[in-house]
Structure 1
Amino acid sequence: MYQATHTAVAQDVVRSMQAEASAPAISLTGAQQNELLRALSREELIALFEHLELVPLAAGKHLFDFGDKMEYAYFPTNAIVSLQFVTEDGGAAEIGVVGREGVVGVSMYETERANCSAVVHCAGYGYRIKASVLRSAFFDGGALARQLMRHTSALFAQLAQTVAGARHGSIEQRLCRWLLERLDRSLSNELKVTQEMIANMLGVRRESITCCAGKLQEEGMIEYRRGTVVVLDRSAMERRAGGCYVPA
């Protein structure tokens, strides 16, 4: 029942956004799937709407990489974006994750360069806006500026939590946090992930993730099959994650 309900919701979201993309009249339904945009007044969202472009976000797509000039910002609706720090030898570690609660690629200065890479982890849709337009709207003040500052603060808190978890949390706790962060931003309890992907993002050996995932499955918290993790007992996972996880 849980899976069927959330699948139906996900389908409704996609249909509403696709309809909006082809509809000549202003409909804010799709844009309001992003919680930051939904927090704006109707008047503010209408003023911003003409600059928003609905775009598909395919899994694995790089929205920008470290050092890039950020031409666009993205407001995900049902996509999930991983913020990653890439080392000189090509290794990557996840430092944050953004979904429908926020925005990716905010640039407060024209000469600002990206300090991380943004890679789409879960495919979906999002609204794209030119960085220059968003920057201008921010300096105009109002609710949008306040929401962007709140989101930036939340991202910093998420980064601090990630660093603390890497230093003091067990691999099992970090795995639970990683899954829960995506569950917070997903429309279902099913996550399309691989053990290799998780290991790379957490900076640990794949065998360690295999062992921890097997234990969580034995205890009935998740069901794991190739490329898919289904969360069965969220409450138990939150307790297992402990201080490593704070709900988004």
Structure 2
Amino acid sequence: MLKTPLKDQNHLFHSIPTSEWERLLPHIEAVEMPLGMVMSEPGMKLSHAYFPSTAIVSVLHALENGTSAEVAAIGNEGLIGISIFMGGGTSSSSCIVKSAGLGYRIKSHILLEEFNYSTPLMHLFLRFTQALITQITQTAVCNRHHLLEQQLCRLLLVNLDRLPSNQLLMTQELIARLLGVRREGVTEAALKIQSAGFIKYARGQVTILDRIGLEKRSCECYKVVKTEYQRLLPERMAI
């Protein structure tokens, strides 16, 4: 059984009422979430719901030609597995760990039972789902209408919000895949941001030097999503 302080490792965990938390606690299992771990694929029925702590998971949509793009990122503010309680059973997206770390998991049938039994838990998870939908839709608009440099700033900020430090481990190949663009475009955009003094990029490691400058260079999409998360999940929400 996990100790109660671990409740603070995930924002949804922290917001679960005491009685519901005590019922779920015996069923929570700590897990490692290594880089590249495939947590779900299109049409896959999940055996567990995952609650990241220090890991970050990328929600990707792929096309028939093999290309893909990230539509959302999930870290310690949320969970992977909304299809468990939304009624569809499966999802059309893939979830892959893009920043290795730790997390927790609960068997799907246990989570669904508690979701159906507890109104406060249901409302909490539905608010997270609404915030996630906002992130997905805003990302779609951003990828269509904003400059690659702005998209890169947004991507870096979204990941930075979900990590305890100002350093991100992200290769240009990974960034290009997440944004659904060519690597050459990422190189050009990263050089512009680095020349402005906002980041330092070397050997797959991005160090954020000027967060305020990065936010100003980003488009409005970052702020829109962050504001919605804070509105729907205000307690202890850092993003």
TM-score of the superposed pair, with normalisation by structure 1: 0.86
Q: How far apart are residue 90 of structure 1 and its match? A: 2.1
Q: Which amino acid aligns with 1:44?
A: E
Q: Which runs of 5+ in 1 are unaligned?
A: 1-23
Residues 1:38 and 2:5 are matched in the alignment: no
Determine which of 223, 229, 237 is the counterpart of 2:200.
223
CA RMSD of aligned residues (A): 1.4
Contact persistence 1:75–1:102 (CA under 8 A) = yes
SS in 2 for 1:125: strand
Determine which of 184, 199, 204 is the counterpart of 2:161.
184
Q: Which amino acid aligns with 1:28?
A: T
Partner Cα separation in structure 1 for residue 58 and residue 79 of structure 2 = 12
Q: How far apart are residue 152 of structure 1 and its match? A: 0.3
Q: Which residue number in structure 2 is paired with residue 128 of structure 1?
A: 105
Q: How far apart are residue 109 of structure 1 and its match? A: 6.2
SS in 1 for 2:218: helix
Q: Which residue number in structure 1 is paired with residue 73 of structure 2?
A: 97
Q: Which residue number in structure 1 is paired with residue 221 of structure 2?
A: 244
Q: How many residues align?
A: 224
Q: Which residue number in structure 2 is paired with residue 139 of structure 1?
A: 116
Determine which of 50, 63, 86 is the counterpart of 1:74.
50
Contact persistence 1:70–1:114 (CA under 8 A) = no
Q: Which moved more, 1:132-141 or 1:93-102?
A: 132-141
Determine which of 126, 149, 153 is the counterpart of 1:149.
126
Q: Deviation digits for residues 40-65 of structure 1, max 9, x if unmatched? A: 23332121111111110001000111
SS in 1 for 2:89: coil
Q: How far apart are residue 31 of structure 1 and its match? A: 3.1
Residues 1:51 and 2:7 are matched in the alignment: no
Contact persistence 1:85–1:92 (CA under 8 A) = yes
Determine which of 179, 187, 195 is the counterpart of 1:210.
187
4+ runs deviating over 6 angstroms: none
Determine which of 57, 63, 68 is the counterpart of 1:87.
63
Q: Which runs of 5+ in 2 are unaligned?
A: 227-238
Contact persistence 1:109–1:135 (CA under 8 A) = no
**CA 1:165 to 1:111, structure 2 compared with 1: closer, same or farther past 3 Å?**
closer
SS in 1 for 2:156: helix
Residues 1:27 and 2:27 are matched in the alignment: no
Q: Deviation digits for residues 140-164 of structure 1, max 9, x if unmatched? A: 1332211100110001000111011
Percent of aligned pairs sharing the same letter:
40
Partner Cα separation in structure 2 for residue 108 and residue 161 of structure 1 = 23
1:157-172 to 2 correspondences below 5 Å? 157-172=134-149
Q: Which amino acid aligns with 2:46?
A: M
Contact persistence 2:10–2:76 (CA under 8 A) = yes
Q: How far apart are residue 71 of structure 1 and its match? A: 1.3
Partner Cα separation in structure 1 for residue 118 and residue 91 of structure 2 = 23
Q: Which moved more, 1:36-45 or 1:182-191?
A: 36-45
TM-score of the superposed pair, with normalisation by structure 2: 0.90
